Amino acid sequence: MSGFVDSIMALVKAKNPAEPEFHQAVEEVVESLGLVIEKHPEYRAAKIVERLVEPERVIMFRVPWLDDQGEVQVNRGFRIEMNSSIGPYKGGLRFHPSVNLGILKFLAFEQVLKNSLTTLPMGGGKGGSDFDPKGKSDNEVMHFCQSFMTELSRHIGQFTDVPAGDIGVGGREIGFMFGQYKRVRNEFVGVLTGKGLAWGGSLIRPEATGYGSVYFGKNMLATRNETYAGKTCLVSGSGNVAQYTIEKLNEFGAKAVTCSDSGGFIYDSEGIDTAKLAYLMELKNVKRGRVSEYAEKYPNAVYTPVDPNLDYNPLWDNKADCAFPSATQNEINAKDAGNLLKNGVYVVSEGANMPTVPEGVNQFIDAKILYGPGKAANAGGVAVSGLEMSQNSLRLSWTREEVDGHLQRIMKDIHDAAFNAAEKYGTPGNYVNGANIAGFLKVADTMLDQGVV
Ligand code: NDP
């Protein structure tokens, strides 16, 4: 099957030059799909994979706005509408200076398979901007969001494309964008998810990705008759996903000892307990401060700033049982993966998208640890976004318990689908193959049903 992988990769690289993250995401998937394509020549004949790697539509636009000094600023906005075979495009918006076409294509491609795994009817998309909300006033963020949405509103809609948040896009940004959509389109509809509770949001949506990633790890542990009780956990990031990962780990009797931001990480040997997590949430979500301040408030915690001269991240070089990368792509390199294994980590549940480089993934698989790849482990966020869409359509709000119950069931279904597909295609315990194959099959069969479109 290396001929199949090589031909797809040659195509993707020729058509999408200088987009290494997109190449990386596609390569991982097509390597898994070799196992499926052998058994299903009809997918090859219909060029399903060739169509899957080509976005249905790419929108790229200028986002001009005025800063607090009255100066004109210009950013670039994007929306990748990757695949709508099983439902409207669905996927987050990322505001971060590193955003470019290749990063968003990788995220949109992953999103197609992830959304398929959730069992809900959602296609895949992703978007965002190279705008950096860090250090901007609320007014500047609002002006940017309004300009961004003025253009994006022409392309999205409750039945066509429903964006959500991602890095740099939380409740504040969704609020500003929803307000502008409503104003320019004169309609109050569920065109975004992650909305405020008073205006169509769902309970548990903020918690969903972090909780879901912990639930995914719980399901993996259950295959070995184990639980989280007493386990030490490494968490990276300190944003939405990291915060609720820590919250759920505390609830399950585990101890999270680290968190980070782009400046560095803290190690708290006593664990980031409920009171400390409340401080961290206030620090990041309200004060918009840095994790270094955590170590000032709690002197037993050690802060280690990022050292650009190191070829590894010392956060991953601490003794632990579990790891929850929850910051960004490629944050675990090959050396970090080796350090995690050396330090006793045998559960990795990825809250972030593609946080581990391919050499690291291979080390985890070879070591036969419980390794849950992002497209399965972090699907809880988009799953509850799907539930938010359902509630909007019904004009109803479900209780916390109802939504959390759905989330737990969906994470178990995703786990079981990946686990079973891995076994069926001859690689038991390999959740990477399992998630890629289970996610792909539903989309591929639907594309066959719908003809050459
Ligand atoms: P947030 O913006 O809330 O938090 C991101 C965190 O990661 C911050 O602590 C940030 O630090 C850190 N970070 C971001 N980029 C970098 C970088 N290049 N280097 C080092 N640290 C970085 O985002 P989320 O928590 O929502 O997202 C985290 C990850 O989870 C992403 O990979 C996202 O795609 C994924 N994800 C999110 C979902 C969601 O529902 N929100 C759903 C599924 C996946 P700093 O503040 O210094 O930038």
* Full pLDDT tens readout for the chain, 453 residues: 679 999 999 999 999 999 999 999 999 999 999 889 989 999 999 999 999 999 999 999 999 999 999 999 999 999 999 999 999 999 999 999 999 999 999 999 999 999 999 999 999 999 999 999 999 999 999 999 999 999 999 999 999 999 999 999 999 999 999 999 999 999 999 999 999 999 999 999 999 999 999 999 999 999 999 999 999 999 999 999 999 999 999 999 999 999 999 999 999 999 999 999 999 999 999 999 999 999 999 999 999 999 999 999 999 999 999 999 999 999 999 999 999 999 999 999 999 999 999 999 999 999 999 999 999 999 999 999 999 999 999 999 999 999 999 999 999 999 999 999 999 999 999 999 999 999 999 999 999 999 999
Catalytic residues: 126
Residue 281 placed within a domain: yes
Q: Is 326 in the pocket of ligand 1 (CB under 6 A)?
A: yes
Q: Is 353 in the pocket of ligand 1 (CB under 6 A)?
A: yes
Please check whether residues 184 and 212 belong to one and the same domain: no
Among residues 341, 372, 403, the one where a domain terminates is 372
Calpha distance 73→63 (Å, rounded): 8
- One-letter amino acid of 71: E
Check residue 38 and give its pLDDT. 87
Residue 404 placed within a domain: no
Give the Å distance between the CA of 206 and the centre of ligand 1.
Answer: 13
Please check whether residues 150 and 255 belong to one and the same domain: no
Please check whether residues 62 and 135 belong to one and the same domain: yes
Calpha distance 299→281 (Å, rounded): 18
Residue 417 placed within a domain: no
Pocket test for ligand 1, best of 90, 167, 174, 382 (most atoms within 8 A of CB): 167
Please check whether residues 168 and 85 belong to one and the same domain: yes
The reported pTM is 0.97
Please check whether residues 179 and 235 belong to one and the same domain: no
Q: Is 243 in the pocket of ligand 1 (CB under 6 A)?
A: no
Q: Taking Cα atoms as reference points, which of 141, 91, 94, 142 lies closest to residue 116?
A: 91
Residue 410 placed within a domain: no
> What tokens does 403 get?
């939504």
Q: Which atom of ligand 1 is nearest to the CA of 306?
A: 20
Edge-to-edge strands, sheet with 232-235 = 255-256, 232-235, 322-324, 347-349, 370-372
Residue 1 contacts residue 37 (beta carbons within 8 Å)? yes
Please check whether residues 161 and 46 belong to one and the same domain: yes
Residue 418 contacts residue 117 (beta carbons within 8 Å)? yes
Residue 249 placed within a domain: yes
Residue 60 β-bridge partners: 78
Pocket test for ligand 1, best of 328, 384, 414 (most atoms within 8 A of CB): 328
Residue nearest to atom 37 of ligand 1 (CA): 166
Q: Which domain holds residue 167?
A: 2-189
CA dihedral 415, 420, 422, 424 (to 10 degrees): -170
Calpha distance 449→85 (Å, rounded): 10
Q: Is 237 in the pocket of ligand 1 (CB under 6 A)?
A: yes
Give the Å distance between the CA of 99 and the centre of ligand 1.
Answer: 12
Q: Where are the beta strands (DSSP E) in 84-160?
A: 89-95, 124-129
Please check whether residues 226 and 288 belong to one and the same domain: yes
Q: Taking Cα atoms as reference points, which of 401, 364, 392 lies closest to residue 28?
A: 364
Cβ-based burial of 182 (10 A; exposed 0-12, middle 13-18, buried ≥19): middle
Calpha distance 168→375 (Å, rounded): 20
Can you say whether the dihedral through the CA atoms of 162, 166, 171, 176 is positive or negative? negative
Among residues 372, 390, 408, the one where a domain terminates is 372
Q: Taking Cα atoms as reference points, which of 437, 434, 408 lies closest to residue 420?
A: 434
Q: Which atom of ligand 1 is nearest to the CA of 381?
A: 40
Residue 390 placed within a domain: no
Give the Å distance between the CA of 328 and the centre of ligand 1.
Answer: 5
The CATH number assigned to the domain holding 282 equals 3.40.50.720
Q: Is 328 in the pocket of ligand 1 (CB under 6 A)?
A: yes
Residue 168 placed within a domain: yes
Element (H, E) at 261: strand 258-261
Q: Is 213 in the pocket of ligand 1 (CB under 6 A)?
A: no
Q: Where are the beta strands (DSSP E) in 293-434?
A: 302-305, 322-324, 347-349, 370-372
Please check whether residues 235 and 301 belong to one and the same domain: yes
Among residues 343, 372, 401, the one where a domain terminates is 372
Please check whether residues 269 and 334 belong to one and the same domain: yes
Please check whether residues 216 and 315 belong to one and the same domain: yes
DSSP three-state, residue 300: coil
Please check whether residues 159 and 246 belong to one and the same domain: no
Residue 374 contacts residue 355 (beta carbons within 8 Å)? yes
Please check whether residues 234 and 342 belong to one and the same domain: yes
Give the Å distance between the CA of 341 and the centre of ligand 1.
Answer: 24
User: Considering its fold, how many domains does the chain have in total?
Assistant: 2
- What's 282's DSSP letter? I
- What's 198's DSSP letter? G
Give the Å distance between the CA of 2 and the centre of ligand 1.
Answer: 34
Task: Count the Cβ atoms, other than its own, within 10 Å of residue 9.
Answer: 16
The CATH number assigned to the domain holding 22 equals 3.40.50.10860
Residue 311 placed within a domain: yes
Task: Count the Cβ atoms, other than its own, within 10 Å of residue 19.
Answer: 20
Give the Å distance between the CA of 313 and the centre of ligand 1.
Answer: 16
> What tokens does 16 get?
């999408």
